[in-house]
Amino acid sequence: MAKKGRNNDCETVALTLETSDILKNGAPKKMTDCRSFTVPCSINNMDLGHVLCDLGASINLMPLSIFKKLEIEEVQPMHMRLQFVDRSIAKHEGKIEDILVKVDKFLFHADFIILDYEANQEVPIIFGRPFLSTGHALIDVHQGELTMRFNDEVKFNVMNAMKFPTDDKNYSMIESLGGTILRKKYIKNCSALKNSLKTRT
């Protein structure tokens, strides 16, 4: 989720390699890119474990299955297309706004795009840059810490950043909150993804 464009008044959001990979395979093969990391999260008292934060992403994604379990509200229609790295288009279900999200001891409001994909148990939701901005995220690369501030503050250990989280002690890392990043590497085979998503051309 990195680049936006417009075609006939319909906004197109290009998904990053990490986001496309998690939608296609259920989880990233290995977290070797410091622009992707995880944080613990819950919504409406539902523990979601860890969620993936993708700094190349410009939107937040929630699977339809999680949305139905939360029973929060009806989705709103929107003019947007989600484009995977192989240029295929996935049809979303709509959007929900101002959803209360808990990260550690903080509560934030977030908007989500609802997409019908098979959610991974460990990282069911994907957050983009707007979420980190709301949490006033600060990064100390030298100390290996990610700090979120909202009246109070909480620090996350970044030393295990290159590992996919396997328990509640593994948080993750972030190196830079730089500008929009569009990945140019393409996934060669998206057949599994197309079988699990409602796609259109």
Per-residue pLDDT band at 17 (split at 50, 70, 90): low
Q: Write out pLDDT tens, residues 97-136.
A: 999 999 888 888 999 999 887 777 777 888 888 887 887 7
Q: What is the pLDDT of residue 92?
A: 85
Q: What is the pLDDT of residue 101?
A: 92
Pairing of strands 3-7, 89-90: unpaired
Q: State which H helix or E strand residue 59 sits in.
A: none
pLDDT-wise least confident of 8-22, 150-164, 165-179: 165-179
Pairing of strands 138-140, 61-63: unpaired
Q: Token pair for residue 63?
A: 């699977």
Return the CATH number at 8.
Answer: 2.40.70.10
Q: Write out pLDDT tens, residues 84-99.
A: 777 777 778 999 999 9
pLDDT above 90 covers a percentage of the chain that reads 12
Question: pTM to 2 decimals?
Answer: 0.65
SS3 169: coil
Per-residue pLDDT band at 10 (split at 50, 70, 90): low
Check residue 113 and report its DSSP letter.
Answer: E
CB 172 within 8 A of CB 165: yes
pLDDT above 70 covers a percentage of the chain that reads 57
User: How confident is the prediction for the chain on average, in pLDDT?
Assistant: 68
Give dist(CA 134, CA 71) in Å, integer. 24
pLDDT at 193 over 50: no
Neighbours of 191 (CB within 10 A): 7
Q: What is the pLDDT of residue 196?
A: 46
Pairing of strands 126-127, 46-54: parallel
State the burial class of residue 36 (Cβ atoms within 10 Å of its Cβ: 0-12, 13-18, 19+).
buried
| Residue bearing the bigger pLDDT, 60 or 164 | 60
Domain that includes residue 53, residue range: 3-200
Q: What is the pLDDT of residue 95?
A: 93
CA–CA distances in Å: residue 166 to residues 6, 54, 113: 39, 18, 26
Give dist(CA 78, CA 94) in Å, integer. 6
**HSE-CB for 150 with a 13 A CA cutoff:** 16
Total number of domains in the chain: 1
pLDDT at 42 over 90: yes
Backbone angles phi, psi at 21, to 5 degrees: -65, -40
pLDDT at 81 over 50: yes
Pairing of strands 3-7, 126-127: unpaired
Q: What is the pLDDT of residue 190?
A: 34
